[in-house]
């Protein structure tokens, strides 16, 4: 695994490795939890189709979420050897016979948790309350579903839990849709942030969501550093007050 940016790292994939649906002892690399402050990259068995609605994807990008720190610090129960990770993009390499709307070769992004699409909560659009929901790579309390910080991953109910990445969108851009950006958007929406409201302590993604809502008190300015030019968002609660976060 190589470091690519402060947010994203990419699995080093062997381009000569061909995925096969088999229960033979084929090994892939994955980030595995073994205890508090004990996380290792190890060889583990490739995932296989277990249900007609499963898909197997080759992971092309994955991220380390702030929630993964709970695992690292031993705050969430895990089983030794469990695969970590729940933010990912990938390419479909195999799928069950009940998967519709997706095909081999599709570039996809997935949510951090699963939903069935058929229960009462899912029919109301409240997928996070799904009766059979599970979180990738988050231990037995959250469904014992293997994580996505790996070369390959099994995606249950793939037709509900995967979305095709539009042409022209890079993996590192699409990756934010599965958890990071949508969590920020949900926070802004659920908090009822309206025009004219904002807070300088908001996270980067939440500030971007507030800016996109065209709040007049959230302003994006170029912030120059020694090596890069990046946007800096300035937010204020009351008119006339302004805080500068220039570097």
Q: Under a CB-based contact definition with an 8 Å cutoff, are residues 71 and 82 in contact?
A: no
Given this model, what pLDDT does residue 199 score? 55
Helix H, strand E, coil C: the string for 39-95 is EEEEEEECCCCCCCCCEEEEEEEEECCCCHHHHHCCCCCCCCCEECCCCEEEEEEEE
Residues 6+ away with beta carbon under 8 Å from 243: 200, 234, 235, 236
Identify the weakest region by mean pLDDT among 29-38, 45-54, 117-126, 190-199. Answer: 190-199
Residue 66 scores a pLDDT above 50 = yes
Sheet order of strands, 27-35 included: 38-45, 27-35, 82-83
pLDDT at 80: 94
What is the rounded CA–CA span in Å between residue 192 and residue 45? Answer: 45
pLDDT-based confidence at residue 3 (cuts at 50, 70, 90): very low
Query: Is 22's pLDDT higher than 90?
Result: no
Phi-psi region of 99 (alpha: psi -120 to 50; beta: other; left: phi over 0): beta
Q: Give the per-residue pLDDT at 241.
A: 37
Torsional class of 74: left (φ above 0), alpha (ψ -120 to 50), beta (otherwise): left
**Chain segment 138-197, per-residue pLDDT in tens:** 999 999 999 999 999 999 999 999 999 999 999 988 988 888 888 888 888 888 777 666
Which residues pair with residue 22 across a beta bridge? Answer: none
Q: Does position 203 have pLDDT exceeding 60, yes or no? A: no
Mean pLDDT of the chain: 76
Tell me if 128 sits within 8 A of 190, measured CB to CB.
no
Lowest-pLDDT choice from 61-75, 112-126, 130-144, 188-202: 188-202
């Amino acid at each position: 695994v190589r470091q690519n940016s402060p947010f994203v790292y990419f699995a080093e994939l062997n381009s000569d490795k061909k995925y096969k649906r088999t229960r033979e002892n084929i090994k892939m690399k994955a980030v595995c939890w073994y205890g508090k402050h004990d996380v290792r990259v190890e060889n583990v068995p490739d995932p296989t189709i277990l249900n007609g609605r499963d898909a197997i994807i080759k992971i092309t990008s994955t991220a380390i979420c702030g929630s993964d720190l709970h695992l690292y610090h031993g705050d969430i129960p895990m089983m030794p050897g469990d695969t970590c990770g729940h933010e990912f993009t990938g390419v479909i390499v195999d799928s069950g016979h009940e998967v519709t709307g997706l095909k081999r070769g599709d570039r996809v992004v997935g949510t951090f948790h699963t939903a069935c699409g058929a229960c009462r909560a899912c029919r109301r659009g409240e997928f996070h309350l799904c009766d059979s929901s599970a979180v990738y790579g988050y231990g037995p309390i959250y469904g014992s579903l293997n994580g996505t910080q790996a070369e390959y991953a099994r995606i249950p109910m793939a037709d509900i839990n995967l979305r095709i990445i539009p042409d022209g969108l890079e993996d590192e851009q699409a990756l934010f849709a599965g958890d990071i950006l949508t969590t920020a958007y949900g926070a802004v929406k659920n908090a009822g942030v309206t025009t004219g409201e904002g807070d300088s302590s908001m996270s980067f993604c939440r500030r971007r969501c507030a800016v996109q809502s065209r709040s007049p008190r959230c302003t994006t300015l170029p912030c120059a550093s020694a090596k890069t030019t990046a946007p800096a968002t300035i937010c204020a609660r009351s008119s006339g007050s302004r805080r500068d976060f220039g570097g």
